[in-house]
Structure 1
Amino acid sequence: MHFFLDILLLLPLLLAASLESLVKLFIPKRRKSVAGEVVLITGAGHGIGRLTAYEFAKLKSKLVLWDINKHGLEETAAECKRLGARVHAWVVDCSNREDIYSSAKKVKAEVGDVSILVNNAGVVYTADLFATQDPQIEKTFEVNVLAHFWTTKAFLPAMMSNNHGHIVTVASAAGHTVVPYLMAYCSSKFAAVGFHRALTEELAALKKTGVKTTCLCPNFINTGFIKNPTTNLGPTLEPEEVVGKLMSGILTEKKMIFVPSMISLLTVLERILPERFMITLKRKINIKFDAVIGYKDKGQ
């Protein structure tokens, strides 16, 4: 009974906080400077990671770029240098914990403490459960979520010691709502979103208010990882649009970024509306892409 009375006493706070949030929608938030910050980006050799590196280079950050693809990594590094940034590039396999830890030691020794960590590296296999090979499932989790633990354990202590830093988790709308034929990917991105939320709460509990967290959750992006995606939610997102939203979110220290923003509404609706209605709504949204189907109905 006391618990419910305590909840009732919180109603005025709910009203005040709601009004505050409404007012903030119309007040541009001041953007922080990242000039001179050491920014480490995983998966920097292509797509979102590459474009994010370019944006930090324009803002005069010091860049540490990781990717398993040496050629793509070198191309990104060259363009960042052309933009005037100091760049250090390492070929790193983010599915390998020991490679992450040994590379992190080199970064600390040769560059210094990382103050902004962008966990962007990711893999996706478009197939049903039976067509997804066991090593593919393992790699999906190793890159999409376990790597976040290893990089954060490596670089977060210095941020906490200085009470200054930023951990960025590149997740997906698939970390909030599921899609058929992306079981391993959706599961790993749910874990990545959970990692971000748990890390955010843990930093608050430890009173490390200077270490910020941001999570990016976009819809399908035109990067070639998923073939021929379509949805009635709108056209496939261009990487430049997503990176623009990501950078704005980082610079204003936004905790959760949905692209497009209507994704946030869908995640709420899925939790409160009847299952039967949501089944019909998802049919209307009509998400499609090329996928391998391994299941064979014996009756066929």
Structure 2
Amino acid sequence: MSPPKLKEVNVSLPRKFDTPDEPWYRYITVDLLHYVLGYTVFHPFVACVLVLCLRAQYTPWHALEMRIAIAWAMLMCTIGIFNIISDRIAYGAPREVDLSEEVIVITGGVDGLGGLLAETYGMRNANVAVLDMKKVDDEEAEEKGVFYYQCDVGDAKQVEAAVAEIVEDLGAPTILVNNAGMVRAGSILDSTPEEVEQTFRTNTISHFNTLRAVLPHMLSERRGTIVTVSSVLGRLGAANLSSYTASKAALLALHQSLRAELAQNPDANEIKTILVTPGQMGTKMFQGVKTPSKFLGPVVSLAEVAKSIMNLIEKGESGEVALPLYTKYAGTLDALPVGIQALLRRWSAMDTAIQKSGMVSKSEMKEQ
């Protein structure tokens, strides 16, 4: 059976004068160094090849460089095996994923991260359904190969009705990407009950609505993948983003509770969970917010986050997507002395970035 043909999509590459002309070293970040080192010096295969290269040069086993190379190779292999065993204990064996047999539901999938995921899977002829408040005309939907259902994910009844349509049109959902989100910047004192409630309905309550509607189908199919898109700010908090950070923090607890419940259900052995906690992404949601250090805390592209999410989904694995690198270790901040925590927050300018960006004065609602 020949594989399905990919759809032809007209794209226009950026012209040279459309992209900033920056010196080469501005593109070097700690994430890039971590990636390169991870596939060279700190990779078990490369470490073992180094030992073979030394032997090929007839380096004696008792030579100092050979002993160091062997010790390094053993250390890298031990760490690699430990990580594999740790992931298997935590997440279990991966499930088989065939996109032609999966039904993918993405909330907030008209633009942003959700839009990129939906259009990418649509181009690959996957069964993709998007739940979003924004309306997409039939011609555009057909061109992208995506089914769009206009729906307020914060409304449980609308979600139930939309999922019922998806089951009828495409089949039982097996992959759920809870991506819908919004932000309204401002002081706690300036916030209104209606604004806070709207933020939680979109960012948090929507996850409960979709899980109640989709998870029973996954349990009946005995397979599935659930992606929870939170934020590193859910771990850190930030001034003038209280409702946003609080709603994203709730998702961290929801993800852990979901995993705990699935672990107790015998029908959920093949249901995988993915937690996404990105830093600042290149979207309109935080447009204008400047990172204090492009080297340590670069703005991560939508393509990088989407690629990492899709990689886990298609491998049938559970896991976490934390980009850029600092977001992976943001949770350890609470283990540091409070004085060091205060200095790090002051140095990172995370509590003044929103005010300086002008988001507070604009008081605009932005969606992910």
Give me the TM-score of the superposition, normalised by structure 2.
0.67
Give 1:14's aligned residue: none
Q: Percent identity?
A: 28
Give me the TM-score of the superposition, normalised by structure 1.
0.81
Kindly indicate whether residue 360 of structure 2 is the aligned counterpart of residue 292 of structure 1: yes
Residue 75 and residue 292 in structure 1: after superposition, are their counterparts in 2 closer, same or farther (change >3 A)?
Answer: farther
Which structure: larger Rg? 2
Residue 278 and residue 75 in structure 1: after superposition, are their counterparts in 2 closer, same or farther (change >3 A)?
Answer: farther
- Which runs of structure 2 are paired with 1:187-198 in the superposition (5 Å)? 187-198=246-257
Range with greater deviation from structure 2 (233-242 or 122-131): 233-242
Residue 75 and residue 20 in structure 1: after superposition, are their counterparts in 2 closer, same or farther (change >3 A)?
Answer: farther
Give 1:20's aligned residue: 81
Give 1:219's aligned residue: 279
Distance in structure 2 (CA, Å) of the matches to 1:76 and 1:136: 32
Deviations 1:69-121 (A, max 9, x none): 114x768634422xxxxx32211111222211121222222322101011111
Give 1:168's aligned residue: 227
Aligned residues: 269
1:176 aligned counterpart, secondary structure: helix
Range with greater deviation from structure 2 (144-153 or 31-40): 31-40
Contact map agreement 1:53 1:76 (CA 8 A) in 2 = no
Code of the residue aligned with 2:329 in structure 1: it is L
Tell me how far 1:123 sits from its aligned partner: 0.8
Give 2:185's aligned residue: 126
- Measured on the aligned residues, the alpha-carbon RMSD in Å equals 2.6
Range with greater deviation from structure 2 (202-211 or 247-256): 247-256
Distance in structure 2 (CA, Å) of the matches to 1:116 and 1:30: 12
- Could you list the structure 1 runs, at least 4 aligned residues long, displaced by more than 6 angstroms after superposition: none
- Unpaired segments of 5 or more residues in structure 2? 1-77, 87-93, 363-368
Range with greater deviation from structure 2 (32-41 or 116-125): 32-41
Give 1:98's aligned residue: 157
Kindly indicate whether residue 255 of structure 2 is the aligned counterpart of residue 255 of structure 1: no
Distance in structure 2 (CA, Å) of the matches to 1:260 and 1:254: 19
- Which runs of structure 2 are paired with 1:66-215 in the superposition (5 Å)? 66-71=131-136, 77-81=141-145, 87-207=146-266, 208-215=268-275
Code of the residue aligned with 1:173 in structure 2: it is V
Kindly indicate whether residue 282 of structure 2 is the aligned counterpart of residue 282 of structure 1: no
1:52 aligned counterpart, secondary structure: helix
Deviations 1:110-150 (A, max 9, x none): 32210101111111111111222221110111111111111
